[in-house]
Amino acid sequence: MTAGLDFGLTLAAALADEETARRIQLVLEYDRQPPFDSGAPERADKTKVQDVLARRSPLIAMAKAQAEQARARLAL
């Protein structure tokens, strides 16, 4: 849900201006404060980052292989 609000505010800033987007945010009382500050590898605990990368490595490898196949088919 917050991604939709974030996008809407970004769009409002692009279509109108940042002050308008800030007013909209205030009207909505949208003061996002996630319960955990680990939404980016730079802020997350290094051990958790390693754990997530290890758990996702098969998916990451599959995505890379599929991207390579697409690149080859498109002759990029």
Going by pLDDT thresholds of 50, 70 and 90, the confidence category of residue 37 is confident
Considering the domain architecture, whether residues 45 and 28 belong to the same structural domain is answered as: no
Distances (CA, A) of 2 to 7, 25, 27, 37, 56: 8, 12, 15, 15, 24
Residue 18 has pLDDT above 90, yes or no: yes
CB 44 within 8 A of CB 38: yes
Considering the domain architecture, whether residues 30 and 45 belong to the same structural domain is answered as: no
Residue 2 has pLDDT above 90, yes or no: no
Considering the domain architecture, whether residues 61 and 30 belong to the same structural domain is answered as: no
Considering the domain architecture, whether residues 25 and 56 belong to the same structural domain is answered as: no
- Distance, in Å, from the CA atom of 53 to the CA atom of 45, rounded to the nearest integer, reads 12
Predicted model pTM? 0.55
Q: Domain span at residue 23?
A: 1-34
Mean pLDDT confidence for 50-54:
96
Angle, vertex CA 41, rays to CA 39 and CA 42, nearest 5: 105
Average pLDDT, the chain: 94
Q: What is the pLDDT of residue 16?
A: 97
- Distance, in Å, from the CA atom of 49 to the CA atom of 17, rounded to the nearest integer, reads 37
Task: Work out how many domains the chain is built from and give that number.
Answer: 2
